[in-house]
Structure 1
Amino acid sequence: MHTFRPYLQLVRYNHNYRRLWLSQAIANFGDWFGMLAIYALIQQYTDSEILIGLIIVVKLMSFAVFSPFAGYLTDRFDRRQLMIWCDLGRAVVVVMLLLVQSADMIWLVYVLISLQMMMAAVFEPAKSSSIPNITTKDELMVANIISTLSWSVIFTSGMAIGGFATEYLGMKTVFILNGITYIVSAWYIKRAVIPHLRSQEHLAAIASPWVGIKKGIAFLKSERHVLRPTLAKGWIEVSLGALVYLLIIVSDEILMMGSVGLGLLYASRGVGTAIGPIFLRRFFPDETLWIKALGVCMSLVGVGYFFMGFTSSLYIMMALVLFAHAGSGANWVSSTVLIQKRTPDEYRGRVFSTEWLLLTLTESVSVMIAASLLHFEILSISESLMFFGGLLIIVGGLWNYYIARAESKWQQAILDDQI
C-alpha cells in the first residue's frame, strides 16, 4: 500500500490534476469505445478491407499534418479553452457520423474522422503541456504514470466494451455515447484551474503562426537536451508500429483466434504498458540515467517481439508482449517527463506537437513497410516478427551510441561548469 501512496495522494489532494486526468480518461475511453463502430460502419456499406485500412492512414496522417499548427495554437492561446473547444468539437463530429446512411455517404466518415484527429492533435499537446503547470516537480513523474496506467486500463477495456455495445446496442447508440464522453470530458476541464506561465512579450512575438512555428523549430535545434527526449517515441516507432500491426496478423493466422486472440494480446500490451513506468520509477530514480535507459528499453521491446517469432503458444506470446510493452511504457513516460521538465512553458506545446508528428509519421511508414513485406510474401509472419524485433534491438543500440553519448557530454559539461 505504501508503494501506491504517492499516486493516491496526488489524485486525492491535487484537484486540478484530478479533473484533467478524469477528462483525459473519459475522452480516451470514448475514442477506443467508438473505434469498432467506425470500422463496422465502413464494413456495412462497403465490405472493403482496403477502406478500413484507409481510415487508419487518414487518422495518422491527419494528426501528423496538423501537428505543427496545433503546437503553435497550444503555445499561443489558453490551453484550457482549447481543450474544452476540442472536446465539444469532437462531440459534434462523432454524432455527425449518424448522417452516414448509405455507401454514397461513406466519404463523410473520412472527412469527419480527419477533423476529429486534427482536434486531437491540439488536445494532446495542450494536455501534456498543462500537467507541469498543475503539479510539482516531485509529482510530475507520478502524474504521468497515472495517465499511462489509466490509458492501459482503458485500452484493454474500451475496445472490448465498444465491440459488445456495437453488436448489441447498435452503431448509432455508440456514436451518441461517444459524443457524450467528450462533453463530460469538457465539463471536467472547465472545472480545472490551469495557470499560464507564458509572458505577454513572448505571446506578442509569436502572433504570426509562421513565425511561431519557425521559432519552435529554432528552439529545438538550439536546445539539444530538449530535442533528445523529443525524438524517443518516433525513434522506437521505426519498428514498434510494424510490430503492433503484426499482432493483428498473428492473432488471425498463427493463433487462429481472431478478435479473441487479439483482445488477449492487446490486454497483455496494456498491462505491460502500465507496469513499465512503475518499475522505471522504482529502479531508476536518477533522471540523469533516463536517456540511456530509453535505448535499453527500446532493445528490450525488440527482444520480446524477436522471440515471438519462434513460438505459436498464446501464453508465451502474451508473456512476451507484456515484457516488450513494459519497455515501451517506460520509454513513453520517461521521455514525456524529460520534455516537461526541460522545456519552458512558452515552447512546450510546439515541442510536444513535434514529438507527435515524428511518432505518427514513423508509425505510418513502419506499418506500410510491414504490410508490404507480408503482401508480397517477402517475409512470413514469424520472419517479420524476428526482422522488426531484431531491428529494434539495433535501433536501441544506435540510440545509446549516438543520443545517449551526446547526453553524457552535455551532463558532464554542466558538472564542469559547477566546479
Structure 2
Amino acid sequence: MTYREVIAVEEFRWLWLGQGLSLLGDQFAQVALAVLVYSRTESALATAAVYALTYLPPIIGGPLLAGLADRYPRRRVMLWCDVLRAMLVAVMAVPGMPLPALCALVFGVVLLGAPFSAARAALLPEILSGDRYVVGSALQNVTNQAVQMLGFAIGGAVIATLGPYRALALDAATFLASALAIVGKVRHRPAPARADGRRPAMGSSVRTGLRLVFGDRRLRTLVLFAWLCGFYVVPEGIAAPYAAALDHETLPVSLVTGLLMAAMPAGTLIGALLYGRFASPAGRLKSMGWLAMLSCAPLIVCAARPPLEVVLALWALSGVGGVYQIAANAAFVQCVPPAERGQAFGIAQSGLLAAQGLGILAAGALAQRFGPEPVVAIAGAAGLSCAAALTMLWTESRAEIIAKVHAATGHPRGPSEPSAPVRV
C-alpha cells in the first residue's frame, strides 16, 4: 500500500487537502494572535494565557461534545463545525476587537475543534479500510508536521505583509474551503447505528465512553501510550529558555528557538515517511513499544548540556520515535466499535491535550528554578520509565490486535505471529 494509492481515494484526498489548508491557516492565526496580544499588553503572561486557551477547551469539551459524532451524521457535524469556526474567526478579524472578546472567540473556535476532530477520526476508517487507514494516518501525520514547520517558518513573513487581522481573515477562509470540500466531495452517511437502536443522552454517552476506553485493557494501554506525549513535548514547550541557556554567540536566540522547535517535527516527518511506507501492519504494532521508548530516551542526554548541534540531533531522534502514535491510533480504531468511535476518540484527544498542557506547565515552573536542560532530561527519564512499563503491558495485548489487523488487511500471518482470539 502506497501514499499514491491512498490519495487516489477521492473522499480522503479532499479531506486531506482541506485539513492541510485549514491547519496552515491555523498556524498563521497563532502567530497573529501572539502579535496582537503582545502588542496590546506588552505582557508575556497575557500572551501565554491566550495560548493556553488552545488547550483548555478540548479538555472540557472533548468528552462532552465528541459524542455528537456518534449521535448525528459525521459529515454534518464536520460541516457545521467548519462553518461556525469560520464565522467566529471572521469576527476575530474585525480590527479593534476587545481582548476579552478575542479570548472568548478563541475559546469557542478551539471548543468546536473537539467534535470536528472526533467526527473526522471516526469517519476516516469508513473511507479507508484495512491497511489503507494506517497509510492514510501516516500521510496525515506527515502533512501535519510539514504544515506546522511551514506555518511557523513563513507565518512571521505573512503577518508582516498582511497584518494580523488579514491573517485571521485568511484563517476564516481556510475553514470555509474545508467546508466546501466536505459538501462537494464527502458523501453523506447516516448516523452510526447502535446495537440497541437508541440514541443515548450526552451524559450517558460520556459515561459509556469512559467505561469503554478504561474498562478494556487494550484500549487503556493504547490511550496511555498516546498520553506519553506529555513527556516528550516538554522540549518544545521550553524551547525559548533552552535556547537562551545554550552557549551560542553567533546566532540570535530567536533563530535558535525556531531551530529547536522545528527539530522534533522534522524528525517525526522523516520517521512517518519511512514508517508508513516500509513497515508492515504487524511490524508497526510490534515496534510500537520500542519507538515509544525512543521518543523519550534521547532527551536524557540533555543533562550533559551538549552543544546546539547535538541537541538538534537528539530532539530530531525523539521526533522519529514519536511515529509510534500512528500505530497506536490504528490499533485504537481496530478495538473500538464503529458506533462509539467519536466518543472514544474525543476522550483520548482530551487526555492528549491535557497531558501536553500539564507537561509544558510543569516543565516551565521547574525550568524557572532548575534550568531547562535538567528539566528536559528528567522528562525524558520519566517518559522512558513509563514507556517501558507500557511496552510490557502491550506485549500482552498486541497478539489479539495483530490477528485483527491481519483479518482486515488480508496479510498472511507469519510464523512468529500466533493466532489469538479477538474480541471487541
TM-score for the superposition, normalised by structure 1 = 0.89
Matches within 5 A, 1:7-406: 7-11=3-7, 13-99=8-94, 101=96, 105-194=98-187, 196=189, 200-202=193-195, 204-234=197-227, 236-254=228-246, 255=248, 257-281=252-276, 284-287=279-282, 290=285, 293-328=287-322, 330-375=323-368, 377=369, 379-401=370-392, 403-406=393-396
Unaligned runs of 5+ in 2: 404-417
Post-superposition CA distance 1:181-232 (Å, at most 9, x none): 1111111111233464755455852341112222222322443323322232
Q: Identity percentage over the alignment?
A: 19
Q: In the aligned structure 2, how far is the partner of 1:333 from the partner of 1:113?
A: 29
Higher helix share: 1
Unaligned 5+ residue runs, structure 1? none
Quote how far apart the aligned CAs of 1:247 are: 2.0
Q: Is the 8 A contact 1:29 1:155 kept in 2?
A: yes
- Distance of aligned partners of 1:289 and 1:86 in 2 relative to their CA distance in 1, 3 Å threshold: closer
Partner of 2:408: none
1:407 corresponds, among 390, 397, 405, to 397
Indicate how the Cα distance of structure 1 residues 416 and 36 shifts in structure 2: closer, same or farther if over 3 A, else same: closer
- Gap change, CA 1:223 and 1:172, over 3 Å in 2: same
Give the superposition deviation at 1:145. 1.0
> Matched residue of 1:191: which SS?
helix
Partners of 1:191 and 1:164 lie apart in 2 by 33
TM-superposed CA distance for 1:138, in Å, is 2.4
Tell me, yes or no, if the aligned pair for 1:133 and 1:194 is still in contact at 8 Å: no
Structure-2 separation of matches of 1:139 and 1:407: 23
Amino acid aligned to 2:240: I
8 Å Cα contact 1:88/1:182 also seen in 2: yes
- For 1:206, what is the secondary structure of its paired residue? coil
Task: Report the Cα distance in structure 2 between the residues aligned to 1:373 and 1:416, rounded to whole angstroms.
Answer: 46
Q: 1:195 to 1:333 in 2, by over 3 A?
A: farther
SS at match of 2:186: coil
Whether the 8 Å CA contact 1:225–1:410 is kept in 2: the answer is: no
Whether the 8 Å CA contact 2:78–2:116 is kept in 1: the answer is: yes
Q: Is contact 2:298–2:315 with CA below 8 Å preserved after alignment? A: yes
Structure 1 counterpart of 2:397, one-letter code: E
Distance 1:94 1:283, change over 3 A: same
**Matched residue type, 1:75:** D
Give the distance between the partners of 2:165 and 2:401, measured in 1 at CA: 55
Secondary structure of 2:67's match? helix
Count of matched residue positions in the alignment of Structure 1 and Structure 2: 405
Would the aligned equivalents of 1:94 and 1:112 in 2 still touch at CA under 8 Å? Answer: yes
Cα gap change, 1:116 to 1:203, in 2 (>3 Å): farther
The 1:115/1:273 distance shift into structure 2, 3 A limit, reads same
Partner Cα distance (1:222, 1:30) in 2: 38
Compared CA separation, residues 199 and 40, structure 1 to 2 (3 A): closer
Amino acid at match of 2:183: K
Contact map agreement 2:93 2:165 (CA 8 A) in 1:
yes
Q: Could you tell me how far apart the structure 2 residues matched to 1:109 and 1:313 are?
A: 40
SS in 2 for 1:109: helix
| 1:221-269 CA distance string (max 9 Å, x none) | 44332332223211x1331232321223222332563332222223332
Residue 267 to residue 364, structure 1, CA distance change in 2 (3 Å): closer
Decide whether aligned partners of structure 1 residues 183 and 167 sit closer, same or farther in structure 2, where only a CA change above 3 A counts. Answer: same
Give how far 1:370 is off.
0.8
1:56/1:85 CA distance change after superposition, 3 Å: same
From the superposition, tell whether residues 417 and 296 of structure 1 become closer, same or farther in structure 2 (CA, over 3 Å). closer
Conserved in 2, the CA contact under 8 Å of 1:242 and 1:388? Answer: yes
Cα distance in 2 for partners of 1:19, 1:349 equals: 21
Distance in 2 of aligned mates of 1:200 and 1:400 = 34
Alignment partners' CA distance in 1, 2:69 and 2:31: 30
8 Å CA contact 2:232, 2:318 repeated in 1: no
Structure 1: distance between partners of 2:395 and 2:3: 33
Report deviation, 1:29. Answer: 0.8
What one-letter code is carried by the residue in structure 2 that aligns with 1:167?
A: A
